[in-house]
Structure 1
Amino acid sequence: MSGSESSSESSSNSGSGGIPFLKSPDQAAFRDHLETRLSHWIRRWDGQEQLIAGIIGIPLSKSSISLSGASMTPAAVRAAFKSFTTYSLEYGVDLQHMAVRDLGDIQMHVTDIGECHSRIETCLTKLYEKQPSIVPIVIGGDHSISRPSVKAFSARYPGKKVGIIHFDAHHDVRNFEDGGVTNGTPFRGILESGAALGNNIAQIGIRGFMNSKPYHDYVLSKGVHVFTSRDVRISGMDAILAQAIAAVGDGTDAIYVSFDVDVIDQAYAPGCPAIGTGGLNPWDALDALYLLGALPQVRGIDFVCIDPTVDVRNVTSRLAVQFMLSFLAGIASRPD
């Protein structure tokens, strides 16, 4: 045996008790040294590094009015990281040098939904104090997590106004009397708390036969700008998004994006509790998220309402990763 072969085998046996080819799962997996996977790029945050963006999981689904395994979504999304690289030839960007890290999950209370929401608001508020420039990428969880997330986001800009662009099939302004705070109430909570004003909120992708007239009347009475899925189909996403940005950016200092994945047609996103036909095409969302990422006023985003337990081959969680990457590609294009 040559010296180089002996050295190579000795190295490969390091830490494996001298047993050949036995390695840790990460070491044993196939690696191409010319390719960077998300699973190796998005490392755990060390608690000190100043970040451009950070991933925060919120594993909450007890507040869903329909049976949901959305609490498993952060783990499913992270598992999908290994399927994607950091390079996009479409956008001409390689993300691997961006300071984007995984901050972990916000620990939820086992039974108390109110306590869960309080922890979300407290955690994010403290994060913004420690990382004043970070763009949070929040992975839910059901949509109830958006109310405390937006409240913390709004408090980040004291004395100023924030706007929200909300992608969803539903208005999410159900009343509190018939079930309390749920994944159907986040935007009623946001409006009634004053975290954002109605005329600084735009909802994109709202679909017919998935909402009631009183709730549609409610958002209109608050000045919310509503763009249906049919509006997008007829006018195109670019035109609709331009109107939405103009509306929510008028007099505001920062914009938050809330993306409920059930806005996508069920043919492309089967792993959502509230699937339906007539939703957006993934290309519409990919293009919109890139444009929003490129907009300096956009300072936070959440992705919610995926249920990995009813998904098909993790396709919906993978779709969420592609949405996240398109958003990050947009951030990478921002002027320094």
Structure 2
Amino acid sequence: MAFDWQGRFDGDEALYHRIFQRVKNTNDFSDVSENAFAIHGFAVDEGVRRNKGRVGAAKSPDIIRKNMSNFPVVQADFRLLDFGNVVCENQNLEASQEDFATKVSEVLKKGGKSVGLGGGHEITFAHYSGMRKAFPNAKIGIINFDAHFDNREPENGLASSGTGFWQIAQEGPINSLHIGIQRNSNTLKLFDTAHQLGMNYILAEELFFENLPRLYIEVNRFLESVDVLYVTICMDVFNAAIAPGVSASAYNGMMADPAFMNLYRHILASQKLKALDVAEVNPEFDIQDRTARLAACLVNELFMV
């Protein structure tokens, strides 16, 4: 069922418009035009269950939509298409990931920009797979805001929310930059795997205002090395005070402060950016929609570029 976009109505003129007034629910990929934004909800948390996390993130896409509805439209040519939600039936995570990837690729092939609303962080492999379908010969860069590397090897052959980057690396050289990595959330094995796979990373403790000049250099070097860019945000990268509703909360996670926002906006300004998603919003543990609201705000930052 299509989401019923609603919000505060101030008028029909463009200067009054909020996002809910500019969304079109559709299943027709011919509606996609150059630089239009296309939403796909990933109403799936089977990967979180397999990864022994707190389930509930499958319910988040529509709650994130609700929190997006009232943001003001600031770009005159803003277009937003909503292709609904991908769901997981019979615990078949792989089928839902393939479904999501196929739909994403259709958007990207038509010049649109893909926006994913998760769901578990198993959305990463799905979104990347869609990028690969659309840009088979491109060097795809991934910037991952996350407390975790998500580079575990599958247990018993089953992928999960924690295996996405290991899976990507099995398909060829991986080009990734992970921002917000926590020392106390990753074993030495996961750090070693990151080094072995060539996964670049910035620790959470390195993201502070005075360090931004160095981080800009590191980010710019990464952006220059890739052809197209995909940004994924696991909401557990943030402090539990501002993002309590996640599958694995972090008491010492990052804040959405000027240091983070400046670096984030710098990345969003890249002309190479083709896809973005937010993941691990878990309404079962959220407080007053804090996490969903933050996720919605991060998506809206892309709409304002």
TM-score category of the 2 structures, normalised to the smaller one:
0.7 to 0.9
Q: 1:285 to 1:75 in 2, by over 3 A?
A: farther
Q: Structure 2: where are the runs of 5+ without partners?
A: none
Q: 1:327 to 1:239 in 2, by over 3 A?
A: farther
Aligned partner of 1:281 in structure 2 is: 255
1:263 aligns with 2:234: no
Q: 1:274 to 1:106 in 2, by over 3 A?
A: same
Verify the 8 A CA contact 2:5 2:20 in the aligned structure 1: no
> What secondary structure, in the 3-state scheme, does the structure 2 residue paired with 1:258 have?
strand
Distance between the aligned counterparts of 1:278 and 1:84, measured in 2?
Answer: 29
- Summarize the alignment of residues 73-88 of structure 1 with structure 2, pairs less than 5 Å apart: 73-86=60-73
Distance between the aligned counterparts of 1:221 and 1:185, measured in 2?
Answer: 15
Verify the 8 A CA contact 2:122 2:162 in the aligned structure 1: yes
Task: State the Cα distance separating 1:220 from its structure 2 match.
Answer: 0.9
1:108 aligns with 2:88: yes
Q: 1:55 to 1:288 in 2, by over 3 A?
A: farther
Amino acid at match of 2:227: D
Q: 1:121 to 1:32 in 2, by over 3 A?
A: closer
1:120 aligns with 2:100: yes
Distance between the aligned counterparts of 1:26 and 1:223, measured in 2?
Answer: 42
Distance between the aligned counterparts of 1:238 and 1:191, measured in 2?
Answer: 30
- Summarize the alignment of residues 96-245 of structure 1 with structure 2, pairs less than 5 Å apart: 97-129=77-109, 131=110, 133-177=111-155, 180-194=158-172, 197-198=173-174, 200-233=175-208, 235-237=210-212, 239-245=214-220
Distance between the aligned counterparts of 1:232 and 1:286, measured in 2?
Answer: 11
Verify the 8 A CA contact 1:164 1:248 in the aligned structure 2: no
Q: Structure 1: where are the runs of 5+ without partners?
A: 1-24, 87-93, 331-336
Distance between the aligned counterparts of 1:102 and 1:237, measured in 2?
Answer: 35
Q: Which of the pair has the greater relative contact order for Cα pairs under 8 Å at 6+ separation?
A: 2
Aligned partner of 1:38 in structure 2 is: 19
Distance between the aligned counterparts of 2:121 and 2:131, measured in 1?
Answer: 16
Task: State the Cα distance separating 1:241 from its structure 2 match.
Answer: 4.3
CA deviations 1:262-285 (Å, max 9, x no partner) are: 111111111111111222221344
TM-score (norm 2): 0.87
Q: 1:315 to 1:292 in 2, by over 3 A?
A: same
Task: State the Cα distance separating 1:42 from its structure 2 match.
Answer: 2.5
Q: 1:201 to 1:102 in 2, by over 3 A?
A: same
Task: State the Cα distance separating 1:244 from its structure 2 match.
Answer: 2.5
CA deviations 1:33-80 (Å, max 9, x no partner) are: 263222222232473331521111110011102122111111101111
Distance between the aligned counterparts of 1:68 and 1:26, measured in 2?
Answer: 26
Aligned with residue 72 of structure 1, among 31, 54, 59: 59
TM-score (norm 1): 0.80
Amino acid at match of 1:232: L
Verify the 8 A CA contact 1:254 1:297 in the aligned structure 2: yes
Amino acid at match of 1:216: F
Aligned partner of 1:305 in structure 2 is: 280
Aligned partner of 1:319 in structure 2 is: 294
- How many residues get paired? 292
Q: 1:82 to 1:123 in 2, by over 3 A?
A: closer
Distance between the aligned counterparts of 2:240 and 2:171, measured in 1?
Answer: 32
Verify the 8 A CA contact 1:271 1:315 in the aligned structure 2: yes
Distance between the aligned counterparts of 1:270 and 1:238, measured in 2?
Answer: 30
